[in-house]
Amino acid sequence: MDNQLIIPFLDEQDLEPSKENIPLLLAEWDRLRDELEILYRNRDQKNTLQGMKKGISLFIQLLYLTNDRKVKVTELEPIDFIEIKPVNLDERLGFIIGRPKLFHSYRQLSELFIEQNKLYVKNNIVKKRLTSKG
């Protein structure tokens, strides 16, 4: 996936990889997800779009941070080089970015958050096992 598609969703702030930032992002997504549920139920497309843009931004940040990568707009590594990521991420994220107002895009984004978090936890477990054996 071309980074030019995701850069508009990122804030100008730089995020360093740290274990403290990941739970904060997930907590912010949980709050936003609850808001989006209500907005979609009420068919509030204007505010849904703003919420989805924020959600996409949170996911991109989560993706990079869970891969121990810095989130900096000017130095963003291509997603193709990210190792820990959900299956078919390019297609799925492309769909979400191309159609952010759709409820299906919201569902897909929710699933990406769940999958990325599971992959991150699994990777940490594997790392701990390898370091305890070595």
Instruction: Please check whether residue 1 lies inside any domain of the structure.
Output: no
Instruction: Please check whether residue 7 lies inside any domain of the structure.
Output: no
Q: How confident is the model at residue 41 (pLDDT cuts 50, 70, 90)?
A: very high
Rounded Cα distance between 130 and 108, Å, is 33
41: Cα within 13 Å, side-chain hemisphere: 6
Average pLDDT over residues 83-104: 96
Domain of residue 100: give its range: 13-133
Q: What local confidence, expressed as pLDDT, does residue 34 receive?
A: 97
Instruction: Please check whether residue 2 lies inside any domain of the structure.
Output: no
- In angstroms, the Cα distances linking 65 to 21, 36, 84, 97 are 8, 24, 10, 20
Rounded Cα distance between 56 and 9, Å, is 7
Instruction: Please check whether residue 6 lies inside any domain of the structure.
Output: no
Q: What local confidence, expressed as pLDDT, does residue 105 receive?
A: 97
Q: What local confidence, expressed as pLDDT, does residue 7 receive?
A: 61
Q: How many domains does the chain have?
A: 1
Instruction: Please check whether residue 23 lies inside any domain of the structure.
Output: yes
Rounded Cα distance between 88 and 85, Å, is 9
Instruction: Please check whether residue 32 lies inside any domain of the structure.
Output: yes
